[in-house]
């Protein structure tokens, strides 16, 4: 149940792209759970994919991750001891939290209700209602939790409720992808809305980190 170190980044890349199924997918999930380095790679793959998608579609999302993979391959991969896999560590194929992470990370966000983002130290910690579906490996990792905390809204705030209504989490992620592409192609229109704007308004729950 381990991911071989030389291939780990590649497998995380494939995982992010939704290319893994069954045992292969499980192995990567286990690996993410046990390795902060891999989680960092995982976060970067997502971030880069999101940023790229904001400026236009890219043929073969896998190639994005592939490019990054070369850079990441220089980073050491820390061996880990596999832990029992939690049942809620369900990877979401493709873009997962898509737009929200990059946009929120890039632009920052504040809630009028509380005067600012008060991120939880670990994704999901401040949102018990979604904790059961949180898929970010629980071990604190600076990169992952920074990104997570940038996007996680304060519990109980209006921002926390600003999410796609009436859809399952995976479908919500899909809608985010659509929204990014819609903004891209619809252009700014007369209002000149920056493409990031609606995405910034979108507030992912910590549980979106899958």
Partner 1 sequence: MRLAGATLFATLTAGAAASQAADEQREIRSLLDRMVRASRTLDYVGTFVYRNGSTIQSMKIIHRADADGSRERLVALSGAAREVIRDGRRVTCILPDDRTVVVAKRRPGRPYPSTVFGPEVAIGPDVAEFYSLSIAGVERVADREATVIDARPKDRYRYGLRLAVDHETGLLLKSELLDDRMTALEQIVYTHLDLPESIPDEALEPRISDAGFTRYETEAAEGAGDSSTARTQEWTIGWLPAGFRMTNESQDPIRSGHDPVDHRVYGDGLASLSIFIERGLDEGDRFEGPSSVGAVNAFGRIVEEFQLSVVGEVPGITVEKVAASILKR
Task: State which of positions 59-98 bind partner 1 (CB under 8 A).
Answer: 59-64, 67-68, 71, 93-95
Stretch that binds partner 1, among 28-36, 79-87, 127-135, 150-158 (CB under 8 A): 150-158
Stretch that binds partner 1, among 4-12, 78-86, 129-137, 158-166 (CB under 8 A): 158-166
25 binds partner 1 (CB under 8 A): no
Closest CA to 12 of 87, 68, 89, 60: 68
**Which one among 105, 125, 130, 152 touches partner 1, defined by CB under 8 A?**
105
> What is d(CA 1, CA 55) in angstroms, rounded to the nearest whole number?
38
Phi-psi region of 94 (alpha: psi -120 to 50; beta: other; left: phi over 0): left
Annotate 41-56 with b (16+ C-beta within 10 A) or e (fewer).
Answer: bbbbbbbbbbbebbee
Choice between 127 and 174, CB closer to partner 1 = 174
The encoded tokens of residue 198 equal: 């609606």
**Which one among 15, 97, 202, 209 touches partner 1, defined by CB under 8 A?**
202
Count interface residues toward partner 1 (CB under 8 A): 80
Choice between 85 and 110, CB closer to partner 1 = 110
Closest CA to 205 of 106, 49, 96: 96
């Amino acid at each position: 149940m381990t991911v071989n170190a030389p291939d780990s980044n590649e497998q995380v890349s494939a995982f992010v792209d939704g290319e893994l199924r069954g045992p292969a997918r499980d192995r990567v999930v286990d690996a993410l759970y046990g390795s902060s380095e891999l989680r960092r790679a995982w976060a970067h793959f997502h971030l880069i994919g999101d940023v790229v998608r904001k400026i236009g579609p890219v043929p073969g999302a896998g190639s994005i991750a592939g490019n990054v993979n070369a850079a990441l391959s220089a980073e050491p991969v820390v061996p880990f001891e596999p832990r029992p896999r939690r049942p809620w560590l369900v990877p979401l194929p493709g873009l997962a939290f898509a737009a929200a992470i990059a946009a929120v990370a890039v632009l920052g966000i504040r809630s009028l209700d509380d005067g600012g983002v008060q991120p939880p130290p670990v994704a999901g910690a401040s949102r018990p209602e979604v904790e059961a579906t949180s898929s970010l490996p629980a071990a604190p990792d600076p990169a992952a939790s920074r990104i997570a905390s940038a996007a996680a809204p304060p519990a109980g705030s209006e921002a926390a409720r600003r999410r796609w209504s009436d859809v399952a989490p995976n479908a919500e992620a899909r809608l985010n992808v659509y929204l990014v592409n819609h903004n891209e192609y619809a252009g700014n229109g007369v209002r000149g809305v920056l493409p990031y704007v609606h995405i910034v308004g979108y507030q992912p729950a910590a549980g979106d980190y899958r």
